[in-house]
Copies of this chain bind each other. A is one copy, B any other.
Amino acid sequence: MSFSYVSHLYCPKCERTYDVDQIHQLCECGSPLLVAYDLELMRQEVKREALAEREPSLWRYHELLPVKHPEHIVSLGEGMTPLVRMPRLGRNIGIDSLYMKDEGVIPTGTFKARGAAVGISKAKELGVKQLAMPTNGNAGAAWSLYAARAGIQATVVMPVEAPELTRKECAIAGAELYFVNGLISDAGQIVAKAIREYGWYDASTLKEPYRIEGKKTMGLEIAEQFSWQLPDVILYPTGGGVGLIGIYKAIKELQALGWVDGRMPRLVAVQAEHCAPIVKAWKEKKRESEFWPNAHTVAFGINVPKALGDFLVLEAVYETDGCAIAVNDEAILAEQRTAAELEGAFICPEGAAAFAAAQKLRESGWIRDGETVVVLNTGTGLKYADTVDVHPPVLEPGDMLPKEN
């Protein structure tokens, strides 16, 4: 029985392999690297029943995570987020069996905590002392906080336009924070230059292989929370798409272990109408996306014009008979409000995009009668409160409230 069954790193493009005990970033061919496990041995040695009494964090799946020694784990108790039934919203859109996987209920308030927890833990195991990354906000916040906990120095560069709350998280964690008068791509170039010059660890999305493993745990949890009976459809708001890649990888690993029954859920990549490179590629039956010019959407987290892992996202969609679909900003904001009014869930715009997509896919018949549907809400609405306007009446002390409103 091993704590981790991790075996090596491999390139999904050129099939080169790498040692998991050394620092590696991208493959020599330029592709992101993926983590492999000895699933055959694990299948013999570990039964899923072993999970039942473990603590409700993502570390309950330590055999399927890359950290070899428990003392390297850097955790704030992240994971095992609620899987919440959405009966009233479901009735509204004709899906009886509608669930929200609520990634707002996690340290730092977004699913980025999963990637940071596992990424930082493995970085600590590899002896990293200094890392750098560009960010649109939430990933930088999560990595700054987990790096602080690990005693690793983080340097973060973000666009001046990035959400204000996320800057504050980086700053209070003691990260070296810089703004750039530009986009995340400008931040990325500044970071790349410093990494070449100073030899820092590159914690940019998919340039280190371990955040996927953290995000993979969303898929592991969904499977366990459904008692290992997989749902029919999973909708995921897709920017960089690491979560979708992770969920797909998780379920394939669970199938290899023989832990899940039934067929692979159909995975849906949800994007915003004015930033939909994956949707365009899918419609054209392509294997990679093209850069989307002038990208913009209220759902800041999915405003990614070209993802490094686009080919992996598209593979997950094709291989599961899934699809890719875009929704507009009006639908996103309306859905955010409806989720709060009907279900008491203050979701983020990205999550709202995925609910809006579920509605469209039900209307078109792509989601069929009686199917079980899971929507990923990737963060709490608290981090994006600019989307909500409030102008209540102002009373004076002693005033009387009206009875009917």
The answer to the question of A341 belonging to the interface, with a C-beta cut-off of 8 Å to chain B, is yes
Q: Mark A149-185, 1 if CB is under 8 A from B, else 0.
A: 1110001010010001101111111101111111000
User: How large, as a class, is the contact surface on chain A?
Assistant: 35 or more
Q: How far is the CA of A82 from the CA of B113 in the complex (A)?
A: 14
> Are the CB atoms of B392 and A177 closer together than 8 Å?
yes
Does B171 contact A392, Cβ atoms closer than 8 Å? yes
For A391, give the chain B residue with the smallest CB separation.
Answer: B171
- What is the bound-complex CA distance between A10 and B345, given in angstroms? 34
A239 within 8 A of B: no
Q: Residue on B with the closest CB to A107?
A: B105
- Interchain Cβ contacts under 8 Å between A and B, 5 examples: A104-B107, A157-B401, A172-B336, A178-B392, A178-B401
List the B side residues contacting A343 at CB < 8 Å: 148-149
**Binary CB contact string for chain A from 75 to 100 against chain B (1 if under 8 A, 0 otherwise):** 11110111110001000000000000
Most chain B Cβ neighbours within 10 Å, of A178, A197, A401: A401
Of A14-22, A188-196, A267-275, the stretch lying at the interface with chain B is A188-196
Residues in A lying within 8 Å of B, measured CB to CB: 52-53, 56-57, 74-78, 80-84, 88, 102, 104-109, 132, 145-151, 155, 157, 160, 164-165, 167-174, 176-182, 186, 189-191, 193-194, 197-198, 336-337, 340-346, 380-383, 385, 388-390, 392-401, 403, 405
Residues of B within 8 A of A385 (CB): 164-165, 168
Contacting pair A399 B168 (CB below 8 A): no
Residue ID in chain B nearest A381 by CB atoms: B172
Q: Is the CB of A180 within 8 A of B56?
A: no
A53 x B56 contact (CB < 8 A): no
Q: A148-B343, A172-B388, A344-B173 are in contact. Are A80 and B56 (CB under 8 A)?
A: yes
A385 to B141, CA, bound (A): 13
Shortest CB–CB separation between residue A134 and chain B, in angstroms? Answer: 11
Is the CB–CB distance between A179 and B105 below 8 Å? no
Q: Is the CB of B397 within 8 A of A180?
A: yes
**A381 / chain B contacts, CB cutoff of 8 Å:** 169, 172
- How many angstroms between the C-alpha atoms of A341 and B147 in the bound complex? 9
**Inter-chain contacts of A148 with B (CB < 8 A):** 340-344
Task: Give the residues in chain B near A179, CB-CB below 8 Å.
Answer: 392-395
CA distance A396 to B178 in the complex (A): 10
CB pair B401 A155 closer than 8 Å: yes
Contact A177 B395 (CB under 8 A): no
Q: Tell me whether B382 and A76 are in contact (CB under 8 A).
A: no
